[in-house]
Chain A
Amino acid sequence: MIELLSPAGDKERLKIALLYGADAVYLGGSKYGLRANATNFLMDELKEYVEYAHSLNKKVYVTVNIVFHNEELDGLEEYLTYLSDINVDAIIVSDPVVIDTVKKLGLDLEIHLSTQASVLNSRAAKYYKDLGVKRIVLAREASKEDIIRIKEETGLDIECFIQGAMCTSFSGRCVLSNYTTNRDANRGGCAQVCRWSFKCDYDESFEMMSKDLNMITEIASMIDDGVNSFKIEGRMRSIYYIATVLYIYRRVLERIKSKTLTHEYIEYATNIINRVANRDSVSQFYRGLPTHNEQYYNGRIEESNQDFLGLVLDSDGKYLTLEVRNYFKLGDTVQVFGPNSREFEFTIDEILNEDNETIEICNHPKEIVKIRCSKPVEKMSIMRIKVFDILDEL
């Protein structure tokens, strides 16, 4: 089975991810995850959301992928036992101490090796397979040939990142953050120093930031290579990002399955994803070594766009009820897409506030408004400003 795997940085993102087509989500518990700044999940919440995901026949993987220091060993056995007790579907680990602890305790926990281990060859993969690892999240530097060889020679489940930010470094092999900010990159404190500008002997500042990863053009090829799970990066990304990316990749997978994926759709999907990510994205290492064209220079400043207009809470076929996220007004042409419904667009001709008064603009985030829309709309649909013409040839 081909799996679409989404980040879930908090409860809202988790629900959106599962609704919008993720087969599984990965998230950090209150301990031992590499996104110390994400909200992360408390123990009771973990249990609740594992049950929720399982009720939808979907999976939850929990990251336990820090590089351990002596002090983190306290509580590890209890934590892993708890994860086993609440039936998480797998843990994602990088430090072998976690694998040893699972085995010592005899826990029924499936183990996935994190990309932090930077596995690029079948011999290293085999070492981890012999330890009991079921799946390997390959290094983001893995090429098509690496993927094929590792799959052929180990038979392991292969998980690859397909979308999102890239470390400039091999994962786990960078402590720039430790040296510049004293924040431990390998325990969740990465300050993303590779995105900073540095003085050098040239007139221009030295930069080394990578463009994002985007594998839309390569998904079919990766399926042929033997990749089992397609992973989206970004536990701290917005629900709009998660919904959009999942919506697009789910449709790419469907089109591959039905042999209806066209160049036009790939171009459309790439435009949508680059817009929502607010960054350019490329396929990075899959077809060879990235060049200067796959990096960002010139002190790029990320200014997020305001495309996400609101979340649809309800719809009665006359009006849709919207939780506002960004400014819009009467006369704007907007697009709506939902967990199970295609994109469509319309022009706003009436907005009612909570007192049923007609208003012309919406500029209060979280305000609840009604917008006239004769088409029934799924709950939890996303409304965005129109930027591109919709391409939905199916």
Chain B
Amino acid sequence: MLVRESKMKRDKILISVSNIEDIKEYKKLGITNFLFPLKDYSVGYPAFSFAEISSTNVRSFVFINRLLEDDDIDKFVELDIPKNVKGFVIEDIGLLEILKRKGYEVILYQNHLNNCYKTVNHWLKDFDSVVISTDITKEEIKLIIDKSTKNLVLNTFGFPLIMYSRRLLVSNFTKHIGATVTKEMTINEERKNQDFFLKENEYGTAIFYSIPFDYRSIIEELDYNLKYYLINTAYMDINTIKDVITGKVVDANRGFLDEKTIYRIGDIK
């Protein structure tokens, strides 16, 4: 399915980094905000150490999407955070106080949980911004943005991460069948012929839907209260990402923008 193109303000794009070599291409396009999944603190994405992030010398945000144990946080506190890190995008609120105390911009990205404007406004009392869920309709997003007390982050493009497990689902399966143990695979749900791909590291498994969502078409209408447009580049080729940035049409869908999910089974018409 093809989507309409739309213009994005380049200085509001927050682009995830999947390959450090790509940064120079993004810089040529006017991108200034870069999001780095942090090694040992993220699941599902190519990840980088603080040393690698430091070496890029770009305005950096650090992505921590793991749910953490106290030991993980204890170790995190001991890490030297590079000077080019301006903020953090986090899933686990256990990091909040530590990061705020150090003066970082902290953005909450609890995948699938921030679907309501009062919930978002609750978090905005403590966080600098919140990434809006991709599980809701355009009307729901609009109401959240209308009523939010701070500028928000719109998850704008990327493969949706639709399940996060602590279990090592791919290596467990390959061990079970006696195959060479691997960390990634693609699976297919036959009824609807939907593909999903799994990415695993020692901290768990992420499952992605194989069709990216593209919310660029709603930015123009909602831009008045958006802080960043988050573009997730993971598992995309660089040319597709450049097309996304420059407003070209790419193969993607509109996710749940036009379709409400069903609350109760009795609601199925």
Binding site for B on A (CB under 8 A): 36-37, 67-73, 94-97, 99-101, 118, 120-124, 127, 139, 141, 143, 145-146, 149-150, 153, 168-170, 172-176, 178-180, 182-184, 186-189, 193-194, 196, 198-204, 206-208, 210, 285, 289-292, 295, 297
- Asked whether any CB of chain A lies closer than 8 Å to the CB of B102, the reply is no
Chain A neighbourhood of B111, CB < 8 A? 173
- Report the Cα distance A96→B127, complex, angstroms: 14
- Report the Cα distance A121→B69, complex, angstroms: 5
- Report the Cα distance A238→B183, complex, angstroms: 39
Identity of the chain A residue whose Cβ is nearest the Cβ of B118 in the assembled complex: A97
Chain B neighbourhood of A146, CB < 8 A? 69-70
Q: Which of A178, A180, A290 contacts B167 (CB 8 A)?
A: A290
Q: Are B263 and A187 in contact (CB under 8 A)?
A: yes
- Asked whether any CB of chain A lies closer than 8 Å to the CB of B24, the reply is no
Q: Which of B69, B70, B123, B207 contacts A96 (CB 8 A)?
A: B123
Chain A neighbourhood of B192, CB < 8 A? 180
Q: Are B167 and A183 in contact (CB under 8 A)?
A: no
Q: Are B188 and A200 in contact (CB under 8 A)?
A: yes
**Inter-chain pairs besides A97-B122, A204-B177, 10 sampled, C-beta below 8 Å:** A95-B113, A150-B70, A169-B163, A173-B164, A175-B163, A184-B263, A187-B263, A198-B189, A202-B179, A206-B185
Count, A-B residue pairs, CB within 8 A: 203
Q: Are B177 and A188 in contact (CB under 8 A)?
A: no
Interface-lining segment among B7-15, B46-54, B168-176, B231-239: B168-176
- Asked whether any CB of chain A lies closer than 8 Å to the CB of B249, the reply is no
Categorize the interface residue count of chain B. 35 or more
- Asked whether any CB of chain A lies closer than 8 Å to the CB of B151, the reply is no
Chain A neighbourhood of B140, CB < 8 A? 69-71
- Report the Cα distance A21→B265, complex, angstroms: 32
Interface-lining segment among B26-34, B81-89, B91-99, B220-228: B91-99
Q: Are A200 and B187 in contact (CB under 8 A)?
A: yes
- Report the Cα distance A100→B189, complex, angstroms: 40
Q: Which of A101, A141, A145, A193 contacts B166 (CB 8 A)?
A: A141
B196 to chain A, nearest CB (A): 8
Q: List 9 A-B contacts (CB under 8 A).
A: A95-B113, A121-B94, A149-B70, A168-B167, A180-B194, A184-B261, A188-B263, A199-B189, A207-B173
Contacts A36-B264, A100-B118; is A208 near B167 (CB within 8 Å)? Answer: yes
- Report the Cα distance A27→B172, complex, angstroms: 35
Give chain B's interface secondary structure class.
Answer: mixed
Binding site for A on B (CB under 8 A): 67-73, 92-98, 111-113, 115-119, 122-123, 135-136, 140, 143-144, 160, 162-169, 172-177, 179, 185-192, 194, 196, 207, 209, 256, 259, 261-266
Identity of the chain B residue whose Cβ is nearest the Cβ of A148 in the assembled complex: B70
Q: Are B162 and A127 in contact (CB under 8 A)?
A: no
Listed residue (B119, B167, B176) with the most chain A CB atoms within 10 angstroms of its CB: B167
Q: Are B73 and A121 in contact (CB under 8 A)?
A: yes
Q: Are A121 and B165 in contact (CB under 8 A)?
A: no
- Report the Cα distance A172→B112, complex, angstroms: 7
Chain B neighbourhood of A36, CB < 8 A? 263-266
- Report the Cα distance A70→B191, complex, angstroms: 32
A172 to chain B, nearest CB (A): 6
Q: Are A201 and B162 in contact (CB under 8 A)?
A: no
Q: Are A199 and B175 in contact (CB under 8 A)?
A: no
- Report the Cα distance A295→B259, complex, angstroms: 34
Chain A neighbourhood of B73, CB < 8 A? 121, 123
Chain A neighbourhood of B162, CB < 8 A? 174-176, 178-179
Identity of the chain B residue whose Cβ is nearest the Cβ of A191 in the assembled complex: B265
Q: Are B116 and A179 in contact (CB under 8 A)?
A: no
- Report the Cα distance A289→B73, complex, angstroms: 19
- Report the Cα distance A199→B187, complex, angstroms: 6
Q: Are B188 and A202 in contact (CB under 8 A)?
A: no
Chain B neighbourhood of A153, CB < 8 A? 70
Contacts A67-B115, A174-B163; is A127 near B94 (CB within 8 Å)? Answer: yes
- Report the Cα distance A118→B186, complex, angstroms: 27
Q: Which of B92, B122, B188, B259 contacts A182 (CB 8 A)?
A: B259
Identity of the chain B residue whose Cβ is nearest the Cβ of A196 in the assembled complex: B189
Chain A neighbourhood of B186, CB < 8 A? 200-201
Q: Are A297 and B169 in contact (CB under 8 A)?
A: no
Identity of the chain A residue whose Cβ is nearest the Cβ of B175 in the assembled complex: A292
Q: Are A187 and B261 in contact (CB under 8 A)?
A: yes
Chain A neighbourhood of B96, CB < 8 A? 123, 127
Listed residue (A99, A139, A194, A208) with the most chain B CB atoms within 10 angstroms of its CB: A208
Q: Are A289 and B168 in contact (CB under 8 A)?
A: yes
- Report the Cα distance A238→B45, complex, angstroms: 42
